[in-house]
Amino acid sequence: MKVGLFSFFNFNYRVLMKLSRFFLELANKWKPLNTQQRNIIRSTKYDMLQASDEQYYAEQYWEVIYPHLDKFSENSHILDLGCGQGRFTLKLAKHFNQGYVMGCDLSATAITQAKEYATRSGLSENIEYRTQSITDCLVSCDEKSIDVILLTEVTLFYPEWKNDMPLIIQKLKPGGILILSFRSLYFNALCSIRNRSWESIDTLLNERYGNIFGHSLVFTWQHSSEIKEFIVETYGLELLELFGIGVCSGIKGDPHDYICKPSKLTTREREQLMKLELNLGKHIPDGGRYILVVARNTMTS
């Protein structure tokens, strides 16, 4: 009798959990969006998993990040916030093949594509994708349940990222790591000069977010010294890595694309470029397309 009741309630519990996730997904798809969110969703039409230059930079990120990830067990829990089409989610799922990887993004189109890529790669079993805001995704996670949280190439058009930091730290396990990337003030200054957007200079120097380059999106930017300050002093994390991604090269439209675009190089040339950027990136983090941060949660309880 007890066994039968247990099976009955356990089965219904699992069904209800699946249904609740299904309806939550539907609710998030129909949730009203503000102008910034609609612009962000439009920007995800750019598929970073397929763009050849972005593949190079994904590998550069991975070269820097991997030594930190390799210290965690294969069954770790990972959260990829603002995952887009899943260029890092897939790498994480492959590495943590016995674990659980969740990716969220506001764009239902990007999430649909991410699911398709996961299925093609045979990695859909240990990935859960959600069409969900970063805040909602974090709220849904248990405290101290996540080993690694990623927020890469998202803060540049997500001014609310600071509001989420207490939640992010709350969800990280003791000893867990946070991987962030920020657009640098120096990079945006070069963009302003290249585009002759002189009206953006005062905003760049005196603020850390705003409408620049005549764009309707609100962007954010930082420099490395203030990143160090808020990572260590404000949030109490241990700074493990501060690195400039793409200090000598860029994609179309970047100030560095005049110097070099990885997609235009031979395999040998890309290897040499990678060697150079991996060496220089740790010395001149502000010079990159993004400033990559790896930080550890030092809380013990």
pLDDT in tens, 87-140: 999 999 999 999 999 999 999 999 999 999 999 999 988 999 999 999 999 999
Q: Model pTM?
A: 0.85
If asked whether residues 112 and 1 sit together in one domain, one would say no
If asked whether residues 220 and 121 sit together in one domain, one would say yes
Enclosing domain of residue 271: 35-297
Average model confidence (pLDDT) across the chain: 88
Share of the chain above pLDDT 90, in %: 74
Contact 55, 125 (CB under 8 A): no
If asked whether residues 149 and 203 sit together in one domain, one would say yes
What's the pLDDT score for residue 48? 76
If asked whether residues 14 and 129 sit together in one domain, one would say no
Model confidence at 299, pLDDT cuts 50, 70, 90, reads confident
Measured from the Cβ of residue 289, the count of other Cβ atoms closer than 10 Å reads 23
The answer on pLDDT for 269 being more than 80 is yes
SS (H, E, C) the chain: CHHHHHHHHHHHHHHHHHHHHHHHHHHHHHCCCCHHHHHHHHHCCCCCCCCHHHHHHHHHHHHHHHHHHCCCCCCCEEEEECCCCCHHHHHHHHHCCCCEEEEEECCHHHHHHHHHHHHHCCCHHHEEEEECCHHHHHHHCCCCCEEEEEECCCHHHCCCHHHHHHHHHHHEEEEEEEEEEECEHHHHHHHHHHCCCHHHHHHHHHCCEECCCCCCCCEECECHHHHHHHHHHHCCEEEEEEEEECCCCCCCCCHHHHCCCHHHCCHHHHHHHHHHHHHHCCCCHHHCCEEEEEEEECCCC
What's the pLDDT score for residue 23? 47
If asked whether residues 146 and 74 sit together in one domain, one would say yes
If asked whether residues 46 and 153 sit together in one domain, one would say yes
pLDDT in tens, 4-14: 655 665 566 55
What's the pLDDT score for residue 2? 53
pLDDT in tens, 200-218: 999 999 999 998 887 778 8
What's the pLDDT score for residue 6? 53
The CATH number given to whatever domain includes residue 293 is 3.40.50.150
The answer on pLDDT for 163 being more than 90 is yes
CA–CA separation, 62 and 35 (whole Å): 33
The answer on pLDDT for 43 being more than 80 is no
What's the pLDDT score for residue 41? 62
The answer on pLDDT for 25 being more than 60 is no
Model confidence at 143, pLDDT cuts 50, 70, 90, reads very high
Amino acid at the residue 296:
R
If asked whether residues 197 and 284 sit together in one domain, one would say yes
